[in-house]
Structure 1
Amino acid sequence: MLSALFSNIGTTALVILFFGGSIFVHELGHFFAARRRGLKVERFSLGFGPKIWSWRGKDGVEYRISWIPLGGYVALPQLADMQAIEGASETPVEQLPSIDYASKMIVSVAGAAMNVVFAFLLACIIWLIGVPTSSEYTSTRIGYVTPTIENIEGKQVPSPASQAGLQIGDRILSIDGHKLSDWNDIMEALVMSSGISADGRRQAVFTIERDGQPRQITVFPLLSGDEKFRKVGIAPGYELLVHEVTPGTPAAQAGLQKQDEILSLDGVRILHGVSFHEYLRDHAAQPVQALVKRGEAEVALTIPARADAKTDLGVELTTTFALTHPTPWMQLWEHTSTSFRTLWSLINPRSDIGLSKMAGPVGIVRILHSAAESGLRALLMITILINVSLAIFNLLPIPVLDGGHMLFATIARLRGRPIPVNVIASTQSVFMLLLISMVLYVSFFDVRRWSRDRQNSRPPAAEAPAPAPEPATQPAK
């Protein structure tokens, strides 16, 4: 119990370090750029609202940690009037010299630039240490087609993949023209697809390779699962290796050995663990001919019949793993592409992706916590994604964000005179309320997901023991 406590404390500390660090480097970018361009810096704050702790440095800047952990800010009265959000300025803006357009743009973009630099440095670490990757993840082959899937009404219906004619062994090349490199790409392209058929059904065009020939198959995805994502009912195909064989079991009697690769059962190609177990369950009453690859040779084995389909086969399966070293540029490109596709899905009226499916501060902390429990590699990879997403989000031309400052500066430059201070202040306040509302909305669904997943992960409650029977006769008094 003590070790679990210390482990949880360590995990929480890592979450604070990497999440807080991502905010810190962003604000540090603004701070350094502002000092470099000669702007007055009044305050450097991690978080918004009332301060928890503060300290004034010899440079005259107040450094503080504040109560509302929705980001941070560097108070720069010459850049924008943010008093409603950051507090009153110590020096009236009118008494400070104006700054040029270049300084406004450089200081505004510096935060996002620092996030990208931070992400690049973390990506370099991933490049050096590598990422253990399974053939299941790197696959673009279909290894299993589910006969049915559960729709949003909770009913089992024929899976779109089986109805469209997708087959085990098909290699998926693209979905709706988006080229794919691994199974994560496939799931992402499917979830973010927005195709609608002429009769109003959700539609995705799969370009596949079958028997060496490319072909296009139109699939009509269904919304499924707790998050109501588009699904078609497919799973990846991968090398199926024998990990362990229990002595005295049907697998041992058949002669299966560790590291054997399962190729087929009764001539049926097997590319997924579910296919393997389902076939043996459905054909338990008769011997099954298994073809395996052992070393460089193919070996034919016979798995004996079983009187009970539930009899343990006595075999554990796994797949191949390799240590990959994706370059920093490739990592940043993948995360940037994902972020822009997500943004497009949010504004695309035909998409099934809405704000309720996004992660706010609560969701990000939860994701970081899960990654920290998985190990340093996972934590670094998630932090890279967060920093890239943070950079892109902050550069959106929305008031209160860095992109909003750039927008106001550009409008003022184009019109040849400054935008009235009261217009900027009012606009900032309105959009700050909208931003807070959005964060609260997203956080509601973050908490609901967290609560649901915790409930689903709990083991079923044990049945209460039956009450003791009443004695047949009462004892004498």
Structure 2
Amino acid sequence: MSVWNILYVAVAVVLLFGAAVFVHEFGHFWMARRRGLKVEAFAIGFGPKLFSWTRDGVEYSWRLIPAGGFVKLPQMTTASLIEGQTADGKPLPPATPGSKILVSVAGPLMNVVFAFFIATILWIVGLPVPVNPPIVGYVDPDSEEARLGIQPGDRVVLVDGRKIRSWQDVNEATAMARTNVVQVVTERDGRFFTNHLATVVNKTFGLKLLRLEPRDHPEIVRVQPGTAAEEAGLQPGDRVLAFAGVPVVSDQHLVQLIRKHPEQPAEIRIERKGEKLTLTIRPRRDPQTGHGMIGVMLGSSSTQRFVVQRPGPTPWAQVSEVVTKTWRTLVALVYSRQTGVGAKDLSGPVGILAMLAGWVNTDYRLALSFLVLLNVNLAILNLLPIPVLDGGHVLLALIEWIRRRPLSARLVESVTTAFAVLLISFMAYVTFFDVKRIPLFSAWFKATRQVELAAPESVEPLTDPAGAPAGSSKP
């Protein structure tokens, strides 16, 4: 990446992330002014002031770090615990519970409005969608899945009762399932098959996955020195298209083909920087198992293809999909013991910024789509009834409304402080795992993603081992 590209990505990430926070705080500011509450300050950004001015008793300022902003509301119940006391020290009339609720809800509501605004733009200009069909690429002949009749080329249509449109949906539905055995419905030649498949835990992410692989050409991540792969001229980044004349459809498929050719010369067809090459390789015999091996580390292809859907999904469809996924994530966390999904699997600021940078580096429309997700998530999470969050303000205001008198300041302070410590600890915990995943984020950020102005039907399908086109199966 050039210096200018890095600068562009950095500025775009700060502005997009900051926009989500700024819109949230503006919602609080606007509603507080409408309800006649005292607003001491409204800032764009954080850190030292670059310049400021005062109008109608409100200090407006531009801060050094243009990432979001904040609004200072001394009449909100816990504002003084977080934002400080009023500047002049004068007593203020308490805000009514209704005003507190409206001001608290206004921030998340503005995030939802902003999400719909961005979704409307994507509806007009089009939205890139991944070319990642839920087609089974390889099934181990000796596996339980093969015994149940699942074949390469089968399309996954339902997992745990959820409709599937991409392999990412397959992984998400499996990870969120509350049992280690999930119901999977596949389709082949217009016929539907229902099976109950056992899951395995992925060592990298710690999430449940099916023992099935999507159809994709594996990519060589590393070549061990002094091995058959090095002698044949294979390099990191090579995509394996075929081995011994058989089209390769997944990592495990390639491994199985190599194992069957110990000490036997075979042609390996690869794609390197857009050029197709054919090399000859002689897998060596593993002294322990007798299987063939070539000495490479494999990974999924880093070239992710998108096609632009124009017009894009409707704003309602985009936002409702995000709400559904967020709700499923929260449910999976609640049932963590059954699903295996925990706080370590969430993304904090580090992970969010890394993913946003990746999308900015790919296509502005994908970055805007991620911003829709970010705004909806901010709205939902802030409305959780946890003191310190907006939902906590609403909860305390409702209690005050029911009791017809405010809670004691000491109780509010104790509860708020306790939850503030818990929230900070939780964010530190999530950030720790975010930092551990930085190498994965880095690889994902550097991955090649091709966004094409093409209809989804024009994408050339891969072929399964029998040479059948996508969506069909060998009789």
Q: Tell me the TM-score normalised to structure 2 length.
A: 0.72
Equivalences for residues 142-161 of structure 1 within 5 A:
142-145=136-139, 161=145
**Residue correspondence of structure 1 range 231-270 to structure 2 within 5 A:** 231-237=209-215
C-alpha distance in structure 2 between counterparts of 1:54 and 1:424, whole Å:
35
1:214, distance to aligned residue in structure 2 (A): 3.1
Matched to 2:325, the amino acid is: T
**Which residue, out of 425, 428, 431, partners 1:440?**
428
- When the two chains are superposed, the root-mean-square deviation of aligned CA atoms in Å is 3.7
Deviation larger for 63-72 or 364-373: 63-72
Distance, in Å, in 2 between the alignment partners of 1:227 and 1:431 is 28
Q: 2:21 aligns with which of 17, 20, 23?
A: 23
Is 1:309 aligned to residue 296 of structure 2?
A: no
Which of 396, 401, 406 is the aligned partner of 1:413?
401
Segment drifting more, 393-402 vs 39-48: 39-48
Answering whether residue 100 of structure 2 is matched by residue 108 of structure 1, we say no
Counterpart-to-counterpart distance in 2, 1:394 and 1:5: 36
Q: Answer yes or no: is the 8 Å Cα contact 2:104–2:393 preserved in 1.
A: yes
CA contact under 8 A between 1:238 and 1:319: conserved in structure 2?
A: no
State how many pairs are aligned.
389
Candidates 300, 303, 323, aligned match of 2:308: 323
Residue 110 of structure 1 deviates from its aligned partner by 0.8
Whether the 8 Å contact between 1:160 and 1:232 is mirrored in structure 2 is no
Classify the secondary structure of the residue corresponding to 1:57. strand
Partner residue in 1 for 2:78: 81
In the alignment, the residues of structure 2 paired with residue 108 and residue 7 of structure 1 have an alpha-carbon distance, to the nearest angstrom, of 39
2:281 maps to which residue? none
The 1:336/1:207 distance shift into structure 2, 3 A limit, reads: same
Q: CA offset at residue 273 of structure 1?
A: 6.7
Asked whether 1:384 is paired with 2:341, we answer no
Task: Check the 8 A contact 2:127/2:365 in 1, yes or no.
Answer: yes
Residue 278 of structure 1, CA deviation = 7.8
5 Å matches for 1:187-266? 187-195=171-179, 202-237=180-215
Q: Is the 8 A contact 1:112 1:391 kept in 2?
A: yes
Q: Greater shift after overlay, 426-435 or 70-79?
A: 70-79
- The residue identity in structure 1 corresponding to 2:363 is G
The 1-side partners of 2:390 and 2:326 are apart by: 17
Match of 2:438 among 450, 464, 476: 450
Q: Distance in 1 between matches of 2:144 and 2:61?
A: 55
| Percent identity of equivalent pairs | 37
Task: Give the superposition deviation at 1:162.
Answer: 4.7
What is the alpha-carbon distance in structure 1 between the residues aligned to residue 100 and residue 160 of structure 2?
A: 41
Q: Within 1, Cα distance between the matches of 2:306 and 2:66?
A: 39
For structure 1, list consecutive stretches of 5 or more residues without a partner in the other structure.
148-157, 196-201, 240-261, 286-306, 459-477
* Cα distance, 1:124–1:272 mapped onto 2, change above 3 Å: farther
- The aligned amino acid for 1:80 is T
Task: State the shift of 1:13 in Å.
Answer: 0.3
Instruction: Return closer, same or farther for 1:313/1:238 CA change in 2, 3 Å cut-off.
Output: closer
Q: 1:59 aligns with which of 47, 56, 59?
A: 56
CA-CA distance at 1:113 after TM superposition: 1.1
> Partner residue of 2:230?
none
Offset, 1:10: 1.0
Q: Is the aligned partner of 1:335 residue 2:322?
A: yes
- CA shift, 1:332, in A, is 0.4
SS in 1 for 2:94: coil
Q: Distance in 1 between matches of 2:16 and 2:204?
A: 29
CA pair 166-316 structure 1, distance change in 2 beyond 3 A: farther
Structure 1 CA distance for aligned equivalents of residues 166 and 69 of structure 2: 36
Alignment partners' CA distance in 2, 1:68 and 1:440: 21
Partner residue, 2:223:
none
Q: Offset at 1:326? A: 1.1
User: Does 2:162 match 1:178?
Assistant: yes
Q: CA deviation at 1:275?
A: 9.1
| Selected match of 1:167 from 133, 143, 151 | 151
Partner secondary structure for residue 310 of structure 1: strand
The corresponding residue for 2:129 is 133
| Deviation of the 1:408 alpha carbon | 0.5
Distance 1:52 1:203 in 2: 56
Structure 1 position 180, deviation (Å): 2.3
Q: Which amino acid is 1:417 matched to? A: R
Structure 2 unmatched ranges of 5 or more: 218-240, 278-302, 447-475
Q: Greater RCO between the two (CA within 8 Å, min separation 6)?
A: 2
The offset of 1:177, in angstroms, is: 1.7
Residue 11 of structure 1 and its aligned partner are, at CA, apart by 0.8
Aligned-partner residue type, residue 231 of structure 1? L
Query: Match of 1:466?
Result: none
Report the Cα offset of residue 133 of structure 1: 3.4
Q: Distance in 2 between matches of 1:212 and 1:446?
A: 43
Offset at residue 336 of structure 1 (A): 0.8
Alignment of structure 1 residues 41-56 onto 2, 5 Å: 41-45=39-43, 51=48, 53=50, 55-56=52-53
**Match of residue 474 from structure 1:** none
Q: Show structure 1 runs of 4+ deviating over 6 A.
A: 65-71, 273-285, 317-321, 455-458
* CA contact 1:161–1:232 (8 Å) conserved in 2: no
Looking at structure 1, the residues matched to 122 and 257 of structure 2 have their Cα atoms a distance apart, in angstroms, of: 41
Give deviations 1:29-56, integer Å, cap 9, x for gaps: 11111111111101224677x7455624
CA distance in 2, matches of 1:375, 1:419: 50
Cα drift, residue 448 of structure 1: 1.4
Change (3 A) 1:339 1:70: farther
2:366 is paired with a residue whose SS is helix
Secondary structure of residue in 1 paired with 2:56: coil
Q: Could you state the TM-score of these two structures normalised by the residue count of structure 1?
A: 0.71
Counterpart amino acid of residue 323 in structure 1: V
Deviation string 1:335-377 (CA, Å, 9 cap, x unpaired) is 1111111111112131211111111111111111111111211
Quickly say closer, same or farther: Cα 1:33–1:449, change in 2 above 3 A. same
